[in-house]
Structure 1
Amino acid sequence: MLVVDLHCAHGHHFEGWFASADDLASQKERGLLTCPVCGDHDVTRRPSAPHLNTSGLKERTPAVSRLPSAPASGLSASVPAPSTHVAATSDRSMHDSLPSEAQDAMAALQALYLKAVRHVVENTEDVGERFVEEVRSIHHGDAPERAIRGQASEEDKQSLREEGIDILSMPIPEGFKGPLQ
């Protein structure tokens, strides 16, 4: 089992579990490896410390102090929604150059964003590309009132706003569109 730290071009950090290094490479080549936050396919492996089993050593060597590393849990450290940031331009992500308090705040923001996305997905009906027609029907009383979600173009969203229909745009990562665990 290979557990690696990954990040996308938008600075979202997450963990991936693979059967082997070949499995990781294969999934990346086939376009299956995406960021669970923003769906970005530009995912790269971050350097991670190897695990060394030293329990069999007879003489103990002094412990080497460790540098702080990115959180190991899957969706805990990141930049907020994809529309609010710029892609990192170097191998060292923007996240790593921030003070630890800012990193903690960013991790908390991402956790809240993911909690909100989960709530929306669990408590709304996905009407897909019928969103504009369905929201108009609900607004005019032709369809039962209920919470819905779906896709709309920028022009359609503007048209709905001009008609007095309030909508909220929220990017939902691809991983949330299937069954939630």
Structure 2
Amino acid sequence: MPDFPAMIVFDLVCRDHGHRFEGWFASSQDFEQQQLRGLVSCPQCDSHDVIKAPMAPRLNRKGNQQAAAPVPAPAAVPAAAPAVSSMPPLPPEAREKLQAAITVLAQAQVEAIKSSRWVGKNFAEDARAMHYGDKEPAVIHGQASPEDAKALVEEGVEIMPLLIPVAPPDQIN
């Protein structure tokens, strides 16, 4: 697999019409050089009068700080996301709808987890035992390998992956 250079995503805005969009660059200096050469333009109106929009940095919490509810901020990029995409950016309207849908799903997951019991690495064993009547049915969440999850589905055990990763309770301070 080829090594891709580290990329920085900037929120950009055209000053002519206020259109907001993302741009991926190797560095802040790379953005400035491309801007000076006229290579940065608004995908909606083709304006070259583009500036960086104010952005809130994502700061990792310290180990002794309480984690917030696992609801992603709009336009959050998963940690394992590739740095380079061959897909064209979504139109702003579609992007806003996608962000709203992700937020609704994340909030629904948070609510579902509140009434669920964490079983950790015993997820496959507990789900299987409930399916076969060896344990009282309960709403649970935990960890399962892809192989275990596939085996559960093949056995007819009703499971579904969590859409937003959840930290185990013992890893939250």
**TM-score for both structures, normalised by structure 2:** 0.49
Higher RCO (Cα < 8 Å, 6 or more apart): 1
